[in-house]
Amino acid sequence: MSTDDSRPMTPEQEYDFYADPRNQEPQGPARRRKRPMSAPVPVRFPADLLEEVKRAAEADDRSVSAWIRRAVEHELSRPA
């Protein structure tokens, strides 16, 4: 979504857009994950590394969990 269909909305514009209750209704059919998730796996990171992960996830507009899953999938797809 964008304000003029050529640039993505800024976080502030997104906030304003979704603050309107009319823009909070789900659109289209429900989407399911491609495969079910397992139980959560607790993983600890040094504070500085976790901050880097958070910044990278934010830059990719992903949750930290989604960013870590993608990083793990990427590493597993590489030859050993």
Does 2 score more than 50 pLDDT? no
63 backbone φψ class: left, alpha, beta (φ>0; ψ -120 to 50): beta
Residue 66: both structure tokens together? 């989604």
> Dihedral sign, CA of 25, 28, 32, 34?
negative
By C-alpha distance, which of 73, 53, 72 is closest to 63?
53
22-56 pLDDT per residue, tens: 888 888 888 777 788 889 999 999 999 999 999 99
The predicted pLDDT at position 5 comes to 65
Asked if 33 and 26 count as a contact pair (C-beta separation under 8 A), the reply is no
Does 64 score more than 70 pLDDT? yes
Q: What is the pTM of this model?
A: 0.58
Query: Could you tell me the end-to-end alpha-carbon distance of the chain, in angstroms, rounded to an integer?
Result: 40
The predicted pLDDT at position 11 comes to 87
